[in-house]
Amino acid sequence: MSVRSERFDRQIAIFGTEGQERIRAAKVVQVGYGGLGTFVLPQLCLLGVKTVSVIEHETFSETNRNRYFGFLHSDYEAEKGIGIDKVLVAERIAKGIDPEISIRLIRNRLESREAFEAVIRADIVIGCLDSDGARAILNELCVAYGITYIDLASEVFDDGTFGGRVAVVKNGDGCLQCMGDGLDQTEIRRYLADEQQLENEAKVYGVDKRILAAGSGPSVVDLNGIIASLGVQEFKLLLTSPRLQSRYLNYRGHLKTISKVEVRPAGDCYCCGLFQKEDEADVWRYLTA
């Protein structure tokens, strides 16, 4: 037996060579390489994914040090306030695990043509995003083009409780807008607002405009690791053991519970109604670059 086949022997014993081949053949797009994404990508590579694109426009910062897996101390120069492009670390991690992996780096926002075109060519999209605004756009794009979308979210709530969830959007029978608790419509509106609109809202509430920005709340490494692993598990099951795969999982860390939420088709969901309408859905209206 070759070294290459021996690498996967212990997982092939679980889901077989056919399952391993489906993992190898899957074209995966990961959107976001932050607290969640830095845990997701290494696991995909270890499972044997051979073709992956990573969409991320930001650089590494001092506040990322508490929870980003795989970044080095030298990846941020504190004296200069300069951090490495996050996608370069994604490449370093992926190639370090599998030098033969095909990884495409998209250093651009989700709302770019480059990112949109990568998503609609994917077999499976994994969202590792901070904002429900970005989630809403990615959700709509994947539904419109019939792409299976696995969305991960972790959260620390105001009362000190914490948890997260994994949602799988597929087949046009339930999306992030109508599954579980849905998406935060205020956060979506603020994400899509221009600078003047945010300035006006900040004045109304008497707060700094930065307070209205998404993705700046509490976050911790262990919580991200748990949600990322649950998401990768659903990715694995989707490809190797579909009957075991769940559509929506809720994790509540303070209660030490994981619950499976039943997903019922929402006939009145506008977004679900866009399933496989492709260009007719006009999702490209969100492009900014």
Residue 3 confidence (pLDDT): 43
- pLDDT of 212 > 80? The answer is no
Alpha-carbon gap, residue 251 to 153, rounded angstroms: 10
**Nearby residues of 94 by Cβ (< 8 Å), 6 or more positions away:** 41, 42, 45, 52, 101, 103
Domain 3-261 matching CATH 3.30.2090.10: the answer reads no
pTM of the model: 0.92
- Mean local confidence (pLDDT), 265-281: 91
Percent residues over pLDDT 70 in the chain = 92
- pLDDT of 62 > 60? The answer is yes
The structure tokens listed for 145 are 């083009």
pLDDT, tens only, 128-152? 999 999 999 999 999 999 999 999 9
Mean pLDDT of all residues in the chain?
Answer: 91
- Mean local confidence (pLDDT), 90-117: 98
If one counts every other C-beta atom within 10 angstroms of the C-beta of residue 127, the result is 28
pLDDT category, 205, cuts 50, 70, 90?
low
Residue 1 confidence (pLDDT): 36
- pLDDT of 202 > 80? The answer is no
**Cα radius of gyration (the chain):** 19
- Mean local confidence (pLDDT), 119-130: 97
Which residue ranges make up each domain of the chain? Answer: 3-261
Alpha-carbon gap, residue 21 to 5, rounded angstroms: 11
* Cβ–Cβ under 8 Å, residues 140 and 274: yes
Q: DSSP letters of 32-84?
A: --STTHHHHHHHHHHHT--EEEEE---B--GGGTTT-TT--GGGEETTTTEE-
pLDDT, tens only, 7-17? 999 999 999 99
- pLDDT of 123 > 90? The answer is yes
> How far is the first Cα of the chain from the last one, in angstroms, to the nearest whole number?
49
Comparing 85 with 208, the larger pLDDT belongs to 85
Q: Half-sphere exposure of 13 toward its Cβ, with a 13 Å CA cutoff?
A: 5
β-pair partners for 169: 149
pLDDT, tens only, 213-264? 655 678 889 999 999 999 999 999 999 999 999 999 999 999 999 999 988 8
